[in-house]
Amino acid sequence: MSDEADIQTGSESSSSDRAAAWLHNIDEKVNAMREEREQDPDSMVDKLIKFAIPTVASMVAGKLLQTVWNKGLDSRRSSTGNEEFGNGIMMAAAFAAISAAVSTIVTQLSNRGSQAFVTRKQQRHNKKSQ
């Protein structure tokens, strides 16, 4: 009977040690994440700017491209008299390729622009703080 009690106590002890080690590991990860967040120079507004500007710019560029594309197709349809002009798979593939290229370029440029804006804003804030 005594041996069984020792085995159970040893088993409970190793289980509690594992649980404590697991909780300690989680605590270290949470502390590391908190430290990383506190050292991040971007405020919530900065993060919103860096997200919103490229998103809106890409959407606007896509809509402008679609408008220009449709007007170009409409003028071609009226000049040729062919109402089916531009409805083929090749025209759809061409539009998709051009749209993807324009969207990528606009997104990359607006990402750089918003990052530069946020960096300048942070530098001005740091100069005022000193």
Q: What angle do CA 101, 103, 107 make, to 5 degrees?
A: 120
For residues 70 and 81, state if they share a domain: yes
Q: Are residues 98 and 48 in the same domain?
A: yes
- Determine the average pLDDT of the residues in 99-121: 93
Give the CA-trace dihedral at 21, 22, 27, 32, to 10 degrees.
100
pLDDT digits (tens, 9 = 90+) for 53-108: 999 999 999 999 999 998 887 776 666 666 565 567 888 898 999 999 999 999 99
Indicate the number of domains in the chain.
Answer: 2
* Full residue range of the structural domain in which residue 4 is found: 1-40
Are 3 and 28 members of one domain?
A: yes
Tell me, yes or no, whether 12 and 63 share the same domain: no
60 and 116 belong to one structural domain: yes
As given in the structure block, the two tokens for residue 118 are 């946020």
pTM (whole model) above 0.95:
no
27 and 47, same domain (yes or no): no
70 and 122 in a single domain? The answer is yes
